Amino acid sequence: MRNLCDHIARLQAGGNRSFGRSPLAAWARFVTLGDMIRTVVLYALALAAGAFALQWLQYNYLVRTFPVEIYIALIAVAFAGLGVWAGLRLARRPAPETFERNTAAIASLGITQREQQVLELLASGKSNKEIAHKLGVSPNTVKTQVASLYQKLEVQRRTQAVQKARELALIP
Amino acid sequence: MRNLCDHIARLQAGGNRSFGRSPLAAWARFVTLGDMIRTVVLYALALAAGAFALQWLQYNYLVRTFPVEIYIALIAVAFAGLGVWAGLRLARRPAPETFERNTAAIASLGITQREQQVLELLASGKSNKEIAHKLGVSPNTVKTQVASLYQKLEVQRRTQAVQKARELALIP
DNA sequence: TACGATTTGGTCCTTTCGGGTGATGGAAAA
DNA sequence: TTTTCCATCACCCGAAAGGACCAAATCGTA
């Protein structure tokens, strides 16, 4: 149940420390549904407005004055610009600095809440004694919990534990 | 000379661990000039090809068969699609996983090359003995260098050293 | 050449860490 | 109700790490 090798492949897919290779993949993973819908609606509205304006211009002024090529060029430029804007907006990552804890990994490794707290303090460079003081428990307890963490993470030293926890997105 | 507090403000600006807020800023910082030129040229070629195709269609078939509104819609859709593609391409970050060592911080803290090597191995979870074996020196030497690192980083434990080095972008 | 920085190595001592074992009380599940 | 899991604490022992010294060899530069 606690075999790391069996889990890593699945778990790492859950972490968000690895960014997608294509912008579309990145967008699909990070943009919320509401954000997507808003963007699409905005783009549709802009298209409609543009089309309306073009219709109006067509029947009232432009076609009687300029050759059709200029008309075509204007449409092309306008919609290309709209497309670029929409593309940039779609590709924008909403919150680059957020960190989502890989709860799937935590659950799968059987790491308890208390052990999570200990892990965070451990990763921030605290000693067992400091962690014990901060959590209001005995240093011996912290030792036990740290040892349990080592077992579950399959490491021998605290620097290795920090390294592995960061890889698995257990801590920021 | 080794006062951390005096340096952190300046040094942290040199690290690249903070990503730009707007996609354009991110693009400007990460996309190379060559990449930009290639994208622009590709887009221009696509525009030219589209315009040529439209001209051909206009004088040979479409305008004699369909009303002008359909023609306009086709142009709009085509160029909007082109724009979206170009926008996505422009917004794509070329190498999301790159890490630039904060050499300014390293120099300012007076961290030597050998100490950098030791720091990386230390951060990867190795013990002093393992580091000594990997570098082909005595464990005592590694102890001295690690102690020197602690002084320069103003920390007491190796987990703190890892933490601080990561903050200052001294290591990935 | 002399000086300073770097790299290397050492000793002695204390503290911290890591592994192992065992035990207790409470809460949740079987 | 019994069992299991979690959190807590204790003890021992050895290994690792850390502090405080010292001191060579090397190398670039003033």
Tell me the nt nearest to A146, Cα to C1'.
Answer: C18
What gap in Å lies between CA A27 and CA A12, rounded to an integer? 19
What gap in Å lies between CA B27 and CA A42, rounded to an integer? 23
Interface test with A, best of B27, B62, B84, B155 (most A CBs within 10 A): B84
Residue in the structure block whose two tokens are 């082909």: B136
Kindly provide the b/e burial profile for residues B60-88, where b requires at least 16 CB atoms within 10 angstroms of the residue's own CB: eeeeeeeeeeebbeebbebbbebbbbbbb
User: Strand, coil or helix: what is B98?
Assistant: coil
Q: How confident is the model at residue A18 (pLDDT cuts 50, 70, 90)?
A: very low
Q: Which residues of A touch B95 (CB under 8 A)?
A: none
The size of chain A, in residues, is 172
Q: How confident is the model at residue A56 (pLDDT cuts 50, 70, 90)?
A: confident
* Per-residue pLDDT, B38: 67
* Per-residue pLDDT, B49: 79
Residue B19 has pLDDT above 50, yes or no: no
Rounded alpha-carbon distances, angstroms, from residue B138 to A144, A151, B128: 33, 30, 9
Would the pTM count as exceeding 0.85? no
Q: Which residues of B touch A22 (CB under 8 A)?
A: 92
Question: Which has the closest alpha carbon to A109: A141, A149, A158, A146?
Answer: A149
Q: Which of A149-158, B106-115, B134-143 has the lowest mean pLDDT?
A: B106-115
Rounded alpha-carbon distances, angstroms, from residue B171 to A42, A73, A153, A158, B98: 42, 51, 22, 18, 12
* Per-residue pLDDT, B65: 62
What gap in Å lies between CA A109 and CA A3, rounded to an integer? 8
Nearest to B75 among A21, A72, A125 (CB): A72
Q: Is B125 left (phi over 0), alpha (psi -120 to 50) or beta?
A: left
Q: How many CA atoms does the CB half-sphere of A142 hold within 13 Å? A: 21
Residue in the structure block whose two tokens are 């208390």: A114
Nucleic strand D within 7 A of Cβ A93: no
Rounded alpha-carbon distances, angstroms, from residue B64 to A55, B50, B59, B60, B67: 20, 20, 8, 8, 8
Interface test with A, best of B59, B64, B69, B72 (most A CBs within 10 A): B72
Residue A51 has pLDDT above 70, yes or no: yes
Higher pLDDT, B158 or B74: B158
pLDDT tens digits, one per residue of A24-43: 444 444 445 566 666 677 77
Nucleic strand C within 7 A of Cβ A102: no
Nucleic strand C within 7 A of Cβ A152: no
What gap in Å lies between CA B160 and CA B168, rounded to an integer? 12
Contact: B124, A51; criterion CB under 8 Å: no
Q: What percent of chain B stands above pLDDT 90?
A: 27
Nearest to B91 among A76, A83, A92 (CB): A92
Distance B123 CA to D22 C1' (A): 29
Nucleic strand D within 7 A of Cβ A127: no
Q: Is A116 left (phi over 0), alpha (psi -120 to 50) or beta?
A: alpha
Closest-CA distance, B154 to chain A, in angstroms, reads 12
Q: Does B52 touch chain A (CB under 8 A)?
A: no
What gap in Å lies between CA A88 and CA B86, rounded to an integer? 9
Residue A68 has pLDDT above 70, yes or no: no
Q: What percent of chain B stands above pLDDT 70?
A: 60
Nucleic strand C within 7 A of Cβ B123: no
Higher pLDDT, B127 or B9: B127
Nucleic strand D within 7 A of Cβ A145: yes
Higher pLDDT, A95 or A81: A81
Q: How confident is the model at residue A13 (pLDDT cuts 50, 70, 90)?
A: very low
Q: Which of A58-72, A141-155, B78-92 has the lowest mean pLDDT?
A: A58-72
Q: Does A103 touch chain B (CB under 8 A)?
A: no
Average pLDDT over residues A142-164: 93
Q: How far apart are the first and last CA of chain A?
A: 25
Tell me the nt nearest to B145, Cα to C1'.
Answer: C7
Q: What percent of chain A stands above pLDDT 70?
A: 61
* Per-residue pLDDT, B140: 93
**H or E stretch at A127:** none
Contact: A24, B162; criterion CB under 8 Å: no
pLDDT tens digits, one per residue of A101-122: 788 888 888 899 999 999 999 9
